[in-house]
Copies of this chain bind each other. A is one copy, B any other.
């Protein structure tokens, strides 16, 4: 994926980066579904092809939305983590989810959103998601250190 910015519009520039079928799905899987290794993404029910995944992970790393780490006790498995820049997309995802829930259910009736996610509780929900993510990362790090 060769990212080139079309113009100086902030909206269009964001779309240049994340306006495709997979980039935001990967961010969502990291943020909300605890996916962090290549295998996690490939084996998910959304089933991204491995070449596309490889390409998008590289792009996300190049733009500093994620960082690649290895655990000290395993030289092989790469762990992908959201950076601050990546976590900054949480409000975008939340707004997408709310819109989807309100306006897309009629076309895809199975859509089901968390009870906790309402327009009123939006800001709290965003904070909670980010806090949960960071807590999970910390827990993983401690589990390895022990």
User: Taking beta carbons and an 8 Å cutoff, which residues of A are in contact with B?
Assistant: 5-17, 19-21, 24-25, 28, 32, 45-46, 63, 85, 88-89, 91-93, 95-104, 107-108, 110-113
Q: Which residues does chain B contribute within 8 Å of A17, judged by CB atoms?
A: 104
Interface residue SS majority, chain A: helix
Q: Which residues does chain B contribute within 8 Å of A10, judged by CB atoms?
A: 96-97, 100-101, 104, 111-113
* Interface contact B85-A92, CB-CB below 8 Å: no
The 10 closest A-B pairs by CB, nearest first: A10-B100, A8-B110, A14-B100, A14-B96, A5-B108, A91-B95, A92-B95, A10-B97, A85-B103, A11-B28
Residue of B nearest to A84 (CB): B103
Q: Which residues does chain B contribute within 8 Å of A63, judged by CB atoms?
A: 104, 107
Q: Which residues does chain B contribute within 8 Å of A112, judged by CB atoms?
A: 8, 10
* Interface contact B107-A46, CB-CB below 8 Å: no
